[in-house]
Structure 1
Amino acid sequence: MTPSLRRSRLAAAALLTLAALAVQAQPGTPVPAAPTSPAPIIEPAAPAVTTPAAAVQRAEKAQASALTAELFYEVLMGELTARTGDPGSGYALVLDAARRSRDGKLFQRAVEIALQARSGDAALAAARAWKETLPESREARRFELQILIALNRIGETAEPLRAELAATPQVERPFLMAVIARNYARATDKKLAASVVEQALADELKSPATGGAAWSTVGRLRLAAGDTSGALEAAQRGQEADPSSDGPAMLALELMDPGQPLAEPLVKRYLAGPKALPELRVAYARVLVEGRRYEDASAELAALTVARPELPEPWLLLGSLQTQARQDAAAESSLKRYIGLADTQRDAEARSRGQTQAFLLLAQLAERRKDFTGAEHWLGRIDSTEDLVGAQTRRAALLVRQGKLPQARELVRGLPERTADEKKQKFLAEVQLLRDAKQYQAAYDMLTEASTASPQDTDLIYDRAMVAEKLNRLDEMERLLRRLIELKPDNQNAYNALGYSLADRKVRLEEARTLIRKAVQLAPEDPFIADSLGWVEFRLGNIDEAMRILEAAYKRRPDPEIGAHLGEVLWAKGQRDRALSIWKEAHLVDADNETLQETLKRLRVKL
């Protein structure tokens, strides 16, 4: 059993039973139906009893707990009255019987009747009567706590929460606190929720045994309240209390952002420890990928595959990054390693998704080396109906590579279109086939017709602009990209495409640099946007700055187009041997790259 699975099971056994009542109510507001049992974590209630026989059954169970005949009759009448449309009277009868018999099951039933009647105040009154009658009952306190949270009466939860913490065994408290964070995060007044929980956890925050988990709970509630600085402080204090606790590191991982530079060191410090969970290292790698820090992500995953080679997921992620970096041999090895280990994944859905991704990537690698039979083999192993569109689209692309455009278009047109999104994806896939086949006019005509029907669709506008450029309709391209910027001012691709086009044509270079700098601001880790910035600096005559930017971009992503630009800058600086070396490297990756071919032809270079 992995540590995370063991923890999730322990968390499921935590003794707190805060309800997952998805209602944001005020005192006196009806609430959803209650669960029939408060332990370990309250689940939604089953429907109310609907037959007289069931009501009698409940009453017989009550009689089995040594109720007098009078109380037995009272319980029976309460159940029947609740069933026949008078839950208020039924509730009163059952609650009275509970008080007189001091029977916890009857108190619980009174709470359930009130909640099924959507009367939060009555349910709270029953739970509190239960607690007063049976002060040692943890179930009574749990129900009181859950109802108070559901009613957003957060200020009243401090005392029962402290009591629940005190009654929970020390070993279970870290997992209990994870449940606390999840449930209190639903409160309307999130700042108050964070404050109340912090007060209730005062002793836990000071304890070395629970400090890491307690501060993580406080930090998550601060984060839910929008207090990122307070959340970071909580993560720092939690790690100081217990460096091996995974809670502060997980919180810091959520806080990782260019605006929070102190969050990542907490994650790294935890991962350097001997008890670091491999799942958290994988999560860290995913965050790095989202930030386009591909080299750092690859390094984390490579270290994990060495330390824990039996884990499948790191191999899949590493293979994906290696494919993207065009490290084809290493990528193929990693992906095949994943396929060999995939059956050890317990989550069937995750296993199916992972295998599909691996097969698609292996098909892509085979296609790069023009092994179309091999690519078809890997695509043929995809048996998930959900991934049919992706597999068939790749098959269509293979047909285009073999000069079979009509067959490719028919294959895509035959795909299902059960939703509007599927219909759009089919359309864009067919447009891409035409672009791959250099049938730019046909692609442009399709996009123009679709844009007329959906003039605000930014995906169509961008694709139409890119095809217009291929047709040398540069004014139209610029008009479309400016329209896209107007509709979506945070679209970095629009700024980058327009700026690069100007730079490549050596026109309005200052404007080009301004546009590309805006794109960099929106996506600072994107190596292709960095490539555009390096290219415009080169066009402006800033060769040293251009080389610095392009060197960094090529290191981050050794793409043939970036290599073509870097090689030209090196050639201009007189470093011709190094330029030739980079061009040869780019040529091995993709000999058909248009930018590379144009560069070599213009400079009259033969490799």
Structure 2
Amino acid sequence: MLLHPRLRPLACALLVLPLSLGAQAASATKSKAVRADEVREARTAELFYEVLLGELTASTGEPGTGYALMLQAARQSDDSALYRRAIEIALQARSGDAALNAAQAWRSAQPQSRDANRFVLQILIALNRVGDSAEPLRQELAQTPAPQRAAAIATIPRLYAHVSDKTLAADITAQALQGELQKPALGAIAWTTIGQMRLAAADQEGALAAARQALQLDPQADGPVLLALALSEDGMSAAEPLIAQHFQGASSPEARMAYARSLLGRQRYPEAAVQLKRLTAEQPSLPDPWLLLATLQVQDGRLDGAEASLRQFMALTDTATAPGQSHQASQTHQAGLTQAFLLQAHIAEKRQQYPQALAWLDRIPNPQELLGAQLRRASILVHQGQLAQARALIQALPSGSEQDQRMKLAAEVQLLREARQYQAAYELQGQLVALAPDDGDLLYDQAMLADKAGQRETMEQLLRALIAKHPDYHHAYNALGYSLADRGANLPEAKALVQKALEYAPGDPFITDSLGWVEFRLGNTTEALRLLEQAYRAQPDAEIAAHLGEVLWQLQHPELARKTWREGLELNPDNETLQKTLQRLGVQP
């Protein structure tokens, strides 16, 4: 063994001491037992020196030599800790091949070592040698104790998250899990894991098939329905029946909350409200569903209900707060309360109770929520006829990053929208779109503002461009179809567009409202009435009330029409569609 020249004197000095001690011991006694002890001492000392020299060499900038010494010591001693240290030295030197060599030597020496096999598996995956990982993966599952096997299976997608060939990784996972697929305790989690791997490999059909298999084995399992939710969010409508069927029955609060959040993220508010109402009824002690429900209730103009939900949320949040809670729990608590205070301020503002609104805003302790609080203050100024001061309040906020600038622009656009300064809002929205030209939501808002500003042709051009860029953006289909129907232009295309939107969001009451309006424009008043009544039952809304009332008026049911319009005015007295409908028909509800 060749040593670095600077280490040879140290090695010699270290070697002299135990050998001289061994000579003294030999001269003291000639027994076989002592001679055996001498041999063991010499071997232990030699091993110790190799380990020490390996560490010294690695620390003095020669990790290759240090690694070789450590691996030699590991092989001589069959010591797991030394194999592990050799791997660490190789990894610190960024030598994946050397780390793999040490791990394979360890596994060869100790075939039953789960740790050795794990290192082999993890290093192979880190080196992107996915094809070589099949056998170590099977061994890892076989060596995992039965009580821990479900958790081990569930971690496989994270293990392969960064490999380049995700299709091969999915195939290898499916092969490794063949023996688990029909086991009552593991089948559902095994199929779910395969589905997650298929989804990561962009194989939506394979992922959906796996989710179906998992739910057949365990209809109450969370994993497969969360997989189906991910597929639905990716635009796969075929996953919807699985989701709907699952949530018709009992489900864990976590899964139902995930479903509600998913629906909110896709702006399917009525369906989200259904899930949140069920969740608050079944699990009334959970705070978060009350807060989300209050958000939807404020959006729908149900201010009394929103206040009740917020009181429940704040009472539960105070109860859940405990001294010594973690920093993360404390942050979550503060974020929830901040959102509640903002909603309370919004409710007071809606009721024109401006001092109360400001008092709620003053309770917000979190400086990171400055934008939200200032936006509400600015909104109050708008309602008091002080638009310029409101805009100045937002413009004065710090903008240290592009994200800050985007948030400020979006806040100012919202103020202009509230003040019904639609042309100015449209122009400012153009600046926002320029910062993120691929953001579908920003493009959609730009189109809606163009419509409000009286630029209907521009709106339709923007919506068609949005559909071309994001073919699964169902709100664009709905808005374009409704726009065509509202001005009686190209009604067959309008109907096809709205029906396309319904394919992406089946049962959505606002899209159903659009389809009812298309049928009305086509002269199919009976079908229009059916659709609009269905939409209004699912989501009492001022705009739907405007359409339903007009159809009832056309069908010579004036009292029912007036009743519907009155309900719409109670929901939102400022709704432009409803106000224009009443003015056009010359009706006093």
Whether TM-score is above 0.5 comes out as: yes
Distance in structure 1 (CA, Å) of the matches to 2:217 and 2:178: 14
- Out of 122, 133, 142, the residue aligned to residue 98 of structure 2 is 122
Match of 2:67 in 1: 91
Match of 1:6 in 2: none
- Out of 256, 265, 272, the residue aligned to residue 249 of structure 2 is 272
Task: Please list the CA deviations of residues 455-495 of structure 1 after superposition, one character each: whole Å capped at 9, or x if unmatched.
Answer: 969888776765665565x4xx4146415633663466666
Q: CA separation of 1:264/1:379 partners in 2, compared to 1, >3 Å: closer, same or farther?
A: farther
Letter in 2 for 1:107: Y
* Bigger Cα Rg: 2
1:317 and 2:296 matched: no
Counterpart secondary structure, 1:403: coil
Q: CA separation of 1:361/1:525 partners in 2, compared to 1, >3 Å: closer, same or farther?
A: farther
Q: CA separation of 1:249/1:413 partners in 2, compared to 1, >3 Å: closer, same or farther?
A: closer
Measure how far apart 1:174 and its partner are. Answer: 0.8
Conserved 8 A contact 2:247-2:256: no
Q: CA separation of 1:302/1:605 partners in 2, compared to 1, >3 Å: closer, same or farther?
A: same
Conserved 8 A contact 1:496-1:516: yes
Distance in structure 1 (CA, Å) of the matches to 2:442 and 2:195: 42
Q: CA separation of 1:240/1:417 partners in 2, compared to 1, >3 Å: closer, same or farther?
A: same
Match of 1:46 in 2: none
Conserved 8 A contact 1:362-1:378: yes
1:410 and 2:400 matched: no
Distance in structure 1 (CA, Å) of the matches to 2:526 and 2:94: 71
Match of 1:206 in 2: 182
Q: CA separation of 1:549/1:190 partners in 2, compared to 1, >3 Å: closer, same or farther?
A: same
1:603 and 2:578 matched: no
Measure how far apart 1:560 and its partner are. Answer: 1.3
CA RMSD of aligned residues (A): 3.6
Match of 1:420 in 2: 402
Letter in 2 for 1:482: Q
- Out of 125, 133, 136, the residue aligned to residue 160 of structure 1 is 136
Distance in structure 1 (CA, Å) of the matches to 2:563 and 2:249: 38
- Out of 284, 289, 296, the residue aligned to residue 264 of structure 2 is 289
Distance in structure 2 (CA, Å) of the matches to 1:80 and 1:196: 41
Distance in structure 2 (CA, Å) of the matches to 1:155 and 1:444: 54
Letter in 2 for 1:478: E
Bigger mean CA deviation after superposition, 536-545 or 434-443: 434-443
Distance in structure 2 (CA, Å) of the matches to 1:263 and 1:492: 15
Q: CA separation of 1:262/1:596 partners in 2, compared to 1, >3 Å: closer, same or farther?
A: closer
- Out of 364, 368, 383, the residue aligned to residue 346 of structure 2 is 364
Match of 2:36 in 1: none
Bigger mean CA deviation after superposition, 495-504 or 226-235: 495-504
Distance in structure 2 (CA, Å) of the matches to 1:251 and 1:444: 39
Letter in 2 for 1:562: I
Match of 1:228 in 2: 204
Conserved 8 A contact 2:409-2:429: no
- Out of 63, 84, 89, the residue aligned to residue 113 of structure 1 is 89
Counterpart secondary structure, 1:68: helix
Q: CA separation of 1:188/1:499 partners in 2, compared to 1, >3 Å: closer, same or farther?
A: closer
Distance in structure 1 (CA, Å) of the matches to 2:103 and 2:403: 49
Measure how far apart 1:143 and its partner are. Answer: 0.9
Letter in 2 for 1:289: L
1:196 and 2:172 matched: yes
Conserved 8 A contact 1:481-1:494: no
Match of 1:332 in 2: 307
Task: Please list the CA deviations of residues 337-379 of structure 1 after superposition, one character each: whole Å capped at 9, or x if unmatched.
Answer: 1122225277334333332322222222222222223322332
Bigger mean CA deviation after superposition, 426-435 or 562-571: 426-435
Distance in structure 1 (CA, Å) of the matches to 2:70 and 2:202: 44
Match of 2:355 in 1: 373
Question: Which structure is higher in helix share?
Answer: 2
Distance in structure 2 (CA, Å) of the matches to 1:363 and 1:211: 50
Counterpart secondary structure, 1:534: helix
Match of 1:137 in 2: 113
Match of 1:182 in 2: 158
Letter in 2 for 1:134: Q
Distance in structure 1 (CA, Å) of the matches to 2:288 and 2:116: 44
1:579 and 2:555 matched: no
Conserved 8 A contact 1:256-1:264: no
Distance in structure 2 (CA, Å) of the matches to 1:178 and 1:392: 44
1:554 and 2:536 matched: yes
Counterpart secondary structure, 2:397: coil
Distance in structure 2 (CA, Å) of the matches to 1:261 and 1:279: 23
Stretches of structure 1 lacking an aligned partner (at least 5 in a row): 1-51
Conserved 8 A contact 1:239-1:266: no
Distance in structure 2 (CA, Å) of the matches to 1:455 and 1:216: 35
Distance in structure 2 (CA, Å) of the matches to 1:162 and 1:468: 59
**Which runs of structure 2 are paired with 1:49-88 in the superposition (5 Å)?**
68-88=44-64
Counterpart secondary structure, 2:155: helix
Identity of aligned residues (%): 51
Match of 1:570 in 2: 552
Q: TM-score, normalised by structure 2?
A: 0.81
Q: CA separation of 1:392/1:572 partners in 2, compared to 1, >3 Å: closer, same or farther?
A: same
Task: Please list the CA deviations of residues 538-573 of structure 1 after superposition, one character each: whole Å capped at 9, or x if unmatched.
Answer: 233232233233333333432212211211111111
Counterpart secondary structure, 1:85: coil
Q: TM-score, normalised by structure 1?
A: 0.79
Measure how far apart 1:237 and its partner are. Answer: 2.8
Measure how far apart 1:131 and its partner are. Answer: 1.8
Distance in structure 1 (CA, Å) of the matches to 2:434 and 2:142: 64
Counterpart secondary structure, 1:591: coil
Match of 1:594 in 2: 576
Match of 1:397 in 2: 379
Measure how far apart 1:528 and its partner are. Answer: 4.2
Letter in 2 for 1:161: L
Distance in structure 2 (CA, Å) of the matches to 1:111 and 1:421: 42
Match of 1:45 in 2: none
Distance in structure 2 (CA, Å) of the matches to 1:494 and 1:266: 24
Match of 1:429 in 2: 411
Conserved 8 A contact 1:451-1:461: no
Measure how far apart 1:290 and its partner are. Answer: 4.0
Match of 2:122 in 1: 146
Task: Please list the CA deviations of residues 422-472 of structure 1 after superposition, one character each: whole Å capped at 9, or x if unmatched.
Answer: 223323433443443344565567668x59988969888776765665565
Conserved 8 A contact 1:249-1:267: no
Distance in structure 2 (CA, Å) of the matches to 1:451 and 1:118: 44
Match of 2:283 in 1: 308
Letter in 2 for 1:210: L
Conserved 8 A contact 1:431-1:443: yes
Measure how far apart 1:401 and its partner are. Answer: 0.9
